[in-house]
Amino acid sequence: MTINNILLFLYFASLTGLIIFGSHRYVLIYLYKKYKRNTPETKPLSDPFPVVTVQLPIYNELNVVSRLIESVTNFDYPKDKLEIQVLDDSTDETQKIAEEIVNKYKNENFNITYIRRINRNGFKAGALQNGLKTSKGKFVAIFDADFIPKPDFLKKILPYFSNDNIAMVQARWGHTNRKYSLLTKIQAIILDGHFLIEQTARNRSGRFFNFNGTAGIWLKKAIEVAGGWQGDTLTEDMDLSYRAQIKGYQFIFVPEVVAPAELPIDINAFKMQQGRWAKGTIQVAKKLISEILKSKTSFKVKFEAMIHLTSNLSYPLLTIVSLLLIPAILVRLNTPHTKIFLIDLPIFILGTLSIFYFYYTSQKELGFSSWDSFKYIPFLMSAGIGLAINNAKFVLEGIAGHSSEFVRTPKYGISQGQKQKDPNNKNYKSRKTIVFYAEIIMATYFTFVLFLTIKSHLYYLIPLILLFQCGFMYFAISSFAQLFKQR
């Protein structure tokens, strides 16, 4: 084979993988529309107010820790049935702030404890497991530092534990700063698609879905039976979720209950969060796929789990496609137009259009107008491409078994109506990485590809090339601007 044939094989093989993952979004939309009205059963608990332990894992959260603890103490729930654990692994002034707030609420007769470990072993999973040792609740509610649960959260979620086989009930995430910037608007749409379409489709059609690490309640016994929190992946929530469901426990997703949370406003924090999720998912795939395949679950459950846990392989595939677009363009120059049509039409329908339709559906289902649902999706698609190198790096690390620290996502206490401000903070410094330089190179590369496309009169490819160019350019410029502000 010639070098050109090898490159084209890699290009089309990678493109085929992307089409498979992309077309699966149609399956999720179908399942969502078919099963969305299959609402789960609720019934009064035998004990109307069981003891609930609320765990608040925090690490250097000085901007939001007060807000978090205050929101939990505002729960409309009997004080004598509510246990609050502040699990603080912080190394900065958060320690003092959190301990003072805990002592304040102790004096107001809240059952609240401040728990510190001598190390950060296992990261968030380690903190949760450590707190579980002394927890008194039959149920365990978990909230990350950026969440502001509403007072009726426990009363709305607990009735879904209608039998002893229900292990976990997950609420939908809301967004307190959705309109803060283009970045937060894009993130909100991404998360809306994940929660409303993916989680609803998987759960209500009888497939596995995962706890999202926060804004959910667990049956404590189910955590213990499934093997407890384990810190050998960066997505301990997904890991425990699959282990519990393999054991036969059931999960419930309740999109009607919304837990507000703050979206990252820092571009590099967003990239790190996305990379952590991508790497953690691959780690869980390596750890559990064989167990899933050997389990007594149905084929549809196993198939969906396989797609779910391997979906982040799309990022290395997208990176390969990005790098090989020039030989793909040259092929089009030497191919009759009818054959080009046969190549590009399936790619557009099964890949690109599926993404657009997926997120458009989620926004329409949430009540946004057609224009609001439409106008940000091209930016979202471009940002997804721009994340390719960042997430591909993390995915390859996960495949290679390269361990890394759980890097928390900075929070700044941003509210919905607040104007944009400099997210710079001495505790959350960004730094130049190989990804930063790769994004600059890719932005330059796609500027050349765009020029080549225009020169070759392949005008119908220009919108696609612009998605790539703008995506890499956005992350390169945004990362550089943030680094410049920190000088």
Q: Please list the active-site residues.
A: 89, 237
Q: Taking Cα atoms as reference points, which of 25, 5, 79 lies closest to residue 311? A: 25
- Distance from C-alpha of 451 to C-alpha of 458, rounded to nearest angstrom: 10
Give just the sign of the alpha carbon dihedral 421, 422, 426, 429.
Answer: positive
How do 139-142 and 111-116 pair as beta strands? Answer: unpaired
Whether 337 and 5 have beta carbons less than 8 Å apart is answered as no
Q: Are 395 and 312 in contact (CB under 8 A)?
A: yes
**Can you give the three-state secondary structure of the chain, one letter per residue?**
CCHHHHHHHHHHHHHHHHHHHHHHHHHHHHHHHHHCCCCCCCCCCCCCCCCEEEEEEECCCCCCHHHHHHHHHCCCCCHHHEEEEEEECCCCCHHHHHHHHHHHHHCCCCEEEEEECCCCCCHHHHHHHHHHCCCCCCEEEECCCCECCCCCHHHHHHHHCCCCCEEEEEEEECCCCCCCCHHHHHHHHHHHHHHHHHHHHHHHCCCCCCCCCCCEEEEHHHHHHCCCCCCCCCCHHHHHHHHHHHCCCEEEEEEEEEECECCCCCHHHHHHHHHHHHHHHHHHHHHHHHHHHHCCCCHHHHHHHHHHHHHHHHHHHHHHHHHCHHHHHHHHHCCCHHHHHHHHHHHHHHHHHHHHHHHHHHHHHCCCCHHHHHHCHHHHHHHHHHCHHHHHHHHHHHHHCCCCCCCCCCCCCCCCCCCCCCCCCCCCCCCCCHHHHHHHHHHHHHHHHHHHHHHCCCHHHHHHHHHHHHHHHHHHHHHHHHHHHCC
Sign of the alpha-carbon dihedral angle for 436, 440, 441, 447? positive
**Distance (Å, rounded) from C-alpha 201 to C-alpha 255?**
11
